[in-house]
């Protein structure tokens, strides 16, 4: 082979390698701390099946994820609350037209230390606890001791959802101790016999040092436990039919209607494989995607 032909061959090989590398897809995901464990698992499994796709997942809170989508620094924003009108307006002003995808459901639990004798709450009482209208466990049938409140940080979609849906937009009590992530709330309440916190059920499920409280939609109506009898997993039916009063969808927000690899990934998340991971990580799969859980004795 002449030197000229060798150089041409080497250049052709280099171009072919470059083109091959160009086919590799990188997807960035940022946002909800509630969703981050599930999002990381989605990414891990999907990348094993699609080796040319690289997916980077980080948390930071729903607000942070949506802000990153607006400024063009993430492909997908994970959010545990719906996008706000003000965020949509900011996005459109920046040439971004948010496209919403429901990816799972979540029941929020109110938890106390296992030693706390309080058995259940109403939505109104729950709001009273976190706004500071109620300040002593004695008022709720518990010990004569001040209530120690643990809350999520303001960038959290869980913080926003709980404030809007349960507290009806009243402010959190000034003494509410703000923690980064629901896992931190679980640890704090587990160590504090007078503590109370809230967050996605997945972070509290199966912990013997915590008690998930049944919640009644209003006084005089039965309190609904989001867990199955005996605490054996989340009760999907009370989430699907909304009889449990603190539940929500978990969302993916994209800069526009998805196409290409991002569409493939979103379709995979909302399909059987992705929804199986939702179930495995303690959340509730979208209705109708997976077979219903087997009933006890089957």
Cβ contact 271:289 at 8 Å: yes
Answer whether 123's CB lies under 8 Å from 217's CB.
yes
Tell me what the pLDDT averaged over the chain comes to. Answer: 90
Residue 231: its pLDDT value, please?
72
* pLDDT for 80: 93
The per-residue pLDDT for 37 is 93
pLDDT confidence tier of residue 284, bands split at 50, 70 and 90: very high
For residue 14, what pLDDT is reported? Answer: 41
Q: Does residue 283 come out as left (phi exceeding 0), alpha (psi in the -120 to 50 range) or beta?
A: beta
DSSP, collapsed to helix, strand or coil, labels residue 206 as coil
Per-residue pLDDT at 16 exceeds 60? no
pLDDT in tens, 183-239: 999 999 999 999 999 999 989 988 999 999 999 999 999 999 999 887 778 999 999
| pLDDT tens column, 119-130 | 999 999 999 999
pLDDT at position 295: 56
* Distance, CA of 16 to chain centre: 42
Q: What is the pTM of this model?
A: 0.79
Q: Which helix (H) or strand (E) holds 78?
A: strand 76-79
Token reading at 150: 């643990």
Residue 98's nearest CA partner among 106, 109, 107, 89 is 89
DSSP state of 156: -
* Secondary structure in 3-state letters for 148-178: EEEEECCCCHHHHHHHHHCCCCCCCCCCCEE
Residue 112's H or E segment, with its range, is strand 99-113
- Using 50, 70 and 90 to split pLDDT, how confident is the model at 293? low
pLDDT score recorded for residue 20 = 36
pLDDT band at 23 (very low <50, low <70, confident <90, very high): low
% of the chain residues with pLDDT over 70: 90
What pLDDT is attached to residue 202? 86
pLDDT at 294: 58
CB 112 within 8 A of CB 195: yes
pLDDT at 206: 85
Average pLDDT over residues 49-60: 95
Taking CA atoms, 251 is separated from 27, 101, 157, 254, in Å, by 17, 6, 10, 10
pLDDT at position 297 over 60:
no
Its sign, for the CA torsion 60, 53, 256, 101, is negative
């Amino acid at each position: 082979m002449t030197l000229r032909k060798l150089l041409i061959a080497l250049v052709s090989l280099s171009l072919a390698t470059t083109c091959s590398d160009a086919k590799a897809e990188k997807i960035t995901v940022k946002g909800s701390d509630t969703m981050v464990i599930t999002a990381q698992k989605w990414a891990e499994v999907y990348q094993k099946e699609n080796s040319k796709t690289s997916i980077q997942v980080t948390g930071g809170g729903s607000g942070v994820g949506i802000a990153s989508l607006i400024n063009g620094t993430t492909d997908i924003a994970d959010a545990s609350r719906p996008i706000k009108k003000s965020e949509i307006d900011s996005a459109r002003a920046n040439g971004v037209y948010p496209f919403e995808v429901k990816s799972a459901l979540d029941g929020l639990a109110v938890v106390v230390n296992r030693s706390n004798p309080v058995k259940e709450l109403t939505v109104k009482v729950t709001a009273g606890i976190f706004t500071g209208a109620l300040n002593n466990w004695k008022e709720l049938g518990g010990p004569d001791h001040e209530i120690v409140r643990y809350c999520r940080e303001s960038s959290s979609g869980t913080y926003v959802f709980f404030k809007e849906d349960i507290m009806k937009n009243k402010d959190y009590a000034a003494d509410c101790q703000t923690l980064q992530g629901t896992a931190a709330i679980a640890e704090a309440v587990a160590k504090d016999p007078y503590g109370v916190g809230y967050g996605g059920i997945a972070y509290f499920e199966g912990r013997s040092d915590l008690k998930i409280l049944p919640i009644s939609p209003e006084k005089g109506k039965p309190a609904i436990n989001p867990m199955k009898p005996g605490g054996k997993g989340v009760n999907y039916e009370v989430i699907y039919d909304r009889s449990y009063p603190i539940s929500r969808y978990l969302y993916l927000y994209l800069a526009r209607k998805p196409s290409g690899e991002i569409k493939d990934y979103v379709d995979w998340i909302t399909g059987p494989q992705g929804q199986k991971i939702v179930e495995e990580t303690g959340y509730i799969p979208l209705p109708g995607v997976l077979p219903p859980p087997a009933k006890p004795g089957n």
